Amino acid sequence: MKHFLTQFTLYAVAFFLKPFAEMATFFLVWYNYGKGVLNYFDRKGYQIDVQSASEHRILWNKLLVKKGGYMFAEGTKKSISRHIGINKLLGKQTKFSKALCRFLNLFDKNHCINSLSEEDFELIKHFF
């Protein structure tokens, strides 16, 4: 029980400090790099996306993947959009993943499909 409380406390502290750390980083990068800040946060956003795909795989598998679809896995190097794109081509999207894909299309047309690599298309061929 002591171990659980320690882990829970560390997680809670990190959860609440994260927004402050992100804001401080934003202003430091802006101050030091000016317009280069956009490239920094493009990379940062992608890193968070890939980390979330791996870290929260159980949640994403329940919300975004139908049975028999391409599952999120620990240590994956694929973004959430790539997983959704693969499942879209496999016909294994849930209502939630379809809605998320439509939302992303507002900012980047065909985002989920455009996020796929040649490796992903080869992977899809093995499902059929």
In this prediction, residues 21-32 reach a mean pLDDT of 82
Decide if pLDDT at 114 tops 80.
yes
Half-sphere exposure of 68 (CA within 13 A, CB side): 7
In this prediction, residues 100-117 reach a mean pLDDT of 94
pLDDT at 9: 86
pLDDT tens, position by position, 40-82: 778 888 888 999 999 999 999 999 999 999 999 988 899 999 9
Q: What pTM, to 2 d.p., does this model score?
A: 0.75
The structure tokens listed for 31 are: 């101050």
pLDDT at 35: 66
Answer with the residue of higher pLDDT: 49 or 22: 49
Whole-number Å distance between alpha carbons of 64 and 87: 9
Distances (CA, A) of 70 to 4, 6, 30, 48, 83: 32, 35, 39, 20, 7
pLDDT at 101: 94
Answer with the residue of higher pLDDT: 27 or 90: 90
How many other C-beta atoms lie within 10 A of the C-beta of residue 24? 10
